[in-house]
Amino acid sequence: MLDIKFVRENPEAVRENIRKKFQEQKLPLVDEALRLDAAYRAALTEADGLRAERNKLSKQIGMLMGQAKKDPSKAAEAETIKAQVTAKAERMAELEKLEDQYEAELHAVMLQIPNIIDPSVPIGPDDSANVEVQRFGEPKVPDFDIPYHTDIMASLSGIDMDAAGRVSGNGFYYLLGDVARLHSAVLAYARDFMIDKGFTYCIPPFMIHGNVVEGVMSQTDMDAMMYKIEGEDLYLIGTSEHSMIGRFIDQMLPEETLPLTLTSYSPCFRKEKGAHGIEERGVYRIHQFEKQEMIVICKPEDSMAWYEKMWRYSVELFLSLEIPVRQLECCSGDLADLKVKSCDIEAWSPRQKKYFEVCSCSNLGDAQARRLRMRVKGADGKRYLPHTLNNTVVAPPRMLIAFLENHLQADGSVTIPEVLWPYMGGKKLLTPKK
């Protein structure tokens, strides 16, 4: 969410940013925000004037009532002034209601205006305009056919989607045996990888209040993603970032505690509305999965340096698992409204002979901090908004698709890279059961 002062002073820059995001339907929101801001400030100014006048008149009443003991006419004069105070009090009550109304309406409008994107973001209407920046590792295509990922899992007796369909419906799964163990091993390795980078390990709440949801994501994203608990002000998280950033709602952070570098584990729950193609079936796009996330809260001047570090951590981790990846810069039209800059890390799929998304790294500037009323108290006593960033470390089982395809052998076995041996009980190879 933008600062209304910035919108007031730079309305055309805000409009141009909306155009760059190809959201022309939101252009009227700028004028509406300016109108409500002016109305709110006018009501506030009038109310402040009335308060000052009321205080002045109240002093007069007190003085006149004191004089009335000697001069009865002063009592009548005091009553006249009391009537003026009463009339002003009624108008003040009206203005206070208007202040609340305009403030609420302005807040609702401001939530819909997208954040100002970084100048380095490529301009384009949707993900087709995302730009490949660089590749890491050597993508290979073996000289044998690679089955669909659920077929690889089935050959290892590692998945049961039929039973999950009977129990929970489409978009769910049972992972079994070696595949389930591999799933947990990857998460445990990712946890330790981030701890070794100096991040503090966290397990957050998996449900959050509506005001936290509003603070960490846009209304559009919330409607498309979040599951609400019926009859309660609680939502299942779509990613641990939501509750991790929400932890600091209404908090004043001492500057010396920054940067806060946190890595969190959680299950994630998503509606995943709409139809998806054949390449997004199986365990690619599902309603429930687990993820290791990284979160940074830092000084504004440090956020871009942290952004670079964070996506490179993902690259380093995937290369340690012997999975080639590439960095893809997200264009303006593909950025969620709160994001200043974002990139995807995509893993190589030798079966599809292309890359697919496994991590998303985002710099949200001060948008979440402003929505959550999160502040930092500087050494000089001044207060300011921190910047927040997030990035996926790993998100199996989608990440397992890349793992299984890149480590599959011609005989159907799957090799385990050395970094995972301790997490797999020393097992170096998974062999087909059928």
pTM of the predicted protein model: 0.88
Q: What is the pLDDT of residue 79?
A: 60
In 101-221, at which residue ranges do the beta strands (DSSP E only) sit? 131-136, 159-160, 174-175, 200-202, 207-208
**Residue of 154, 179, 156 lying closest to 413 (CA atoms):** 156
Mean pLDDT of the chain: 91
CA dihedral for 329, 333, 335, 341, sign (positive or negative): positive
What is the arithmetic mean of pLDDT over 242-256?
96
Sketch out the chain's domains with CATH numbers.
4-110 (1.10.287.40), 127-430 (3.30.930.10)
Q: What is the pLDDT of residue 51?
A: 72
Between residues 208 and 225, the one the model is more confident about: 208
**Residue of 317, 218, 201 lying closest to 266 (CA atoms):** 201
Q: In whole angstroms, what is the distance from residue 364 CA to residue 339 CA?
A: 4
What is the arithmetic mean of pLDDT over 107-118?
96
Most confident of 86-95, 223-232, 345-354: 345-354
What are the structure tokens assigned to 360, written together?
């998303």
Between residues 47 and 378, the one the model is more confident about: 378
- pLDDT grade for 275, boundaries at 50, 70 and 90: very low
Is the predicted pLDDT of residue 272 greater than 90, yes or no? no
Q: In whole angstroms, what is the distance from residue 316 CA to residue 310 CA?
A: 10
What is the arithmetic mean of pLDDT over 133-144?
96
Q: In whole angstroms, what is the distance from residue 12 CA to residue 31 CA?
A: 10
**Residue of 367, 372, 374 lying closest to 341 (CA atoms):** 367
CA dihedral for 395, 401, 406, 407, sign (positive or negative): positive
Q: What is the pLDDT of residue 90?
A: 77
Is the predicted pLDDT of residue 134 greater than 90, yes or no? yes
Is the predicted pLDDT of residue 31 greater than 70, yes or no? yes
Q: In whole angstroms, what is the distance from residue 258 CA to residue 13 CA?
A: 31
Query: Which residues face 265 on adjacent strands?
Result: 292
What is the arithmetic mean of pLDDT over 201-224?
89
What are the structure tokens assigned to 131, written together?
């730009």
Encode pLDDT of 350-408 as tens digits.
999 999 999 999 999 999 999 999 999 998 999 999 999 999 999 988 899 999 999 99
CB 92 within 8 A of CB 82: no
- pLDDT grade for 314, boundaries at 50, 70 and 90: very high
CB 336 within 8 A of CB 217: yes
228, amino acid identity: K
